[in-house]
Amino acid sequence: MMPGGRLTTSPFFFFFFYLLNAVYCQDLSGPVFIQEPPNNVDFSNSTGTEIICQARGSPFPSISWTKSDGTPIGTIPGLRQVLENGNLILPPFRATDYKQEVHAQTYRCQSENELGKIISRDVHVRAVVSQDYELDVFKTNILLNNDALVGCVVPSHVGDMLEVQGWVDSEGVELGAGLGRTQFDGKYVVLPSGELQIRNVTAEDGFKTYKCRTKHRLTGETKLSATAGRLVITEPVGGSAPKFPSETDLSRLTHKEGNPLRLTCPAQASPLPSFRWYKFQEGTTIKKPVKLDDRVKQVGGTLIILEAQVEDSGKYLCMVNNSVGGESVETVLTVTAPLSAEVEPKQQVVDYGRSATFKCNYKGNPIKQVYWLKDGVNIGHSDKVLRIDSVKKEDKGMYQLV
């Protein structure tokens, strides 16, 4: 997010010019985005897309597009078109016409008039070429009476384009309530990750098979997995301490604010173990039990957080115990929040030689870098406050915080 302000200089030693300049400035305004392009634009080659960039100002500002390194771009017939109104068109195209420098590119929109220039955030464009794909569900090994986690295996080239809509068993029964309508007290729970959690597995569960159903978020296509998974159930002989299905160390997860998420603790044991979740206080080894409420649920060993908040970020510990032994796993969670920023004041008219100050308030998570631009050029300043001690004519222009 890149808000900005305008700075106009006026020579105090020429009083008549200052008055004219101050009056004239009332009718002038630097470019301001009315609609700034989004950070990420994914589209299907069968549909194409239009990226809107609109700005206002007086005089009316021009709009142009560049690559992220500032190289100007123009129209490429059939692949890319820059409209007179400033919008960028990427039309539908055949798979054979895919060009990485066009369809997997980072663009910027810039707007300029005589008072200065502003640039948009980076616009990461990705065209998804329609390809055939298959989904798979494999067998899951599970101890009797434990909870099983069954996953939907999605090909990597469409992985982030698909979301699991639900599951169906070999008898045609829809399992779980589906994303957004999950019930937490039934035998089958569809987790926010799309996995199917089967509670308290019995011998009868081994006679069924399970398929997942996905939906493509760009094309809307729904598909049932080509293979069906089944549970391979082992009846324990004697007692066994909690054990994870694979070597488990610290795992890291990143999720968007407002979305549901899950933290798994897929240990198996006999007798059936108990699961307790803790969260470490930031920067310490002190841990406190996770408080369960309407937003935070625990289903077996799985912790489900509905409508994740930035405050949920941190390191979590799952402790698993039964009468034979114990085990634990740690997970570091980062909840990301959209960046926003606002510069004050929006406009300043300053006497030559006097000082000018811009202040910026920003928020979001995580914030990795902060810097200021003048007319689209990085001026090497990274504080919240930008102060110009003695304004000169060359300081006139548009300032933005990135």
Give per-residue pLDDT as tens, 253-310: 999 999 999 999 999 999 999 999 999 999 899 999 999 999 999 999 999 999 999 9
* List of E strands, 129-286: 140-143, 148-150, 162-169, 174-175, 188-190, 196-198, 209-216, 222-224, 229-234, 240-243, 251-256, 261-263, 268-270, 274-280
What gap in Å lies between CA 212 and CA 224, rounded to an integer? 6
Residues linked to residue 35 through DSSP beta bridges, in sequence order = 54
54-76 average pLDDT score: 94
Residue 197 has pLDDT above 70, yes or no: yes
What gap in Å lies between CA 47 and CA 90, rounded to an integer? 9
Give pLDDT, residue 7.
53
Amino acid at 34: I
Give pLDDT, residue 303.
96
CB contact at 8 A, 296 and 262: no
Opening angle at CA 78, ends 73 and 81, nearest 5: 35
Per the model's pLDDT, the better-predicted residue between 179 and 98 turns out to be 98
Give pLDDT, residue 245.
82
Eight-class DSSP state of 206: G
Give pLDDT, residue 349.
85
Give the confidence band of 177 by pLDDT, cuts at 50, 70, 90.
Answer: low
What pLDDT digit, counting tens, does each position of 305-356 carry? 999 999 999 999 999 999 999 999 999 999 999 988 888 888 888 888 999 9
How deeply is 179 buried, as exposed, middle or buried, from its count of CB atoms within 10 A (0-12, 13-18, 19+)? middle
What gap in Å lies between CA 240 and CA 243, rounded to an integer? 8
Give the confidence band of 179 by pLDDT, cuts at 50, 70, 90.
Answer: very low
172-190 average pLDDT score: 74
Run of H or E including 387: strand 385-388
* List of E strands, 1-143: 4-10, 29-35, 40-44, 49-51, 54-58, 62-67, 81-82, 88-90, 104-113, 116-119, 123-128, 140-143
What pLDDT digit, counting tens, does each position of 20-58 carry? 343 344 578 899 999 999 999 999 999 999 999 999 999
Give the pair of three-digit tokens for residue 109: 């929109």
Give pLDDT, residue 15.
27
Give the confidence band of 246 by pLDDT, cuts at 50, 70, 90.
Answer: confident
Give the pair of three-digit tokens for residue 150: 């069954």
Q: Is the peptide bond preceding residue 236 cis, with omega within 30 degrees of 0?
A: no
Domains of the chain: 4-129+345-401 (2.60.40.10), 131-235 (2.60.40.10), 238-339 (2.60.40.10)
215-228 average pLDDT score: 92
Q: How far apart are the first and last CA of the chain?
A: 6
Give the confidence band of 19 by pLDDT, cuts at 50, 70, 90.
Answer: very low
- Sign of CA pseudo-dihedral 383, 389, 395, 397: positive
What pLDDT digit, counting tens, does each position of 108-129 carry? 999 999 999 999 999 999 999 9
Minimum mean pLDDT range among 2-11, 16-25, 55-64, 236-245: 16-25
Task: Report CA 3 to chain centroid distance, whole Å.
Answer: 21
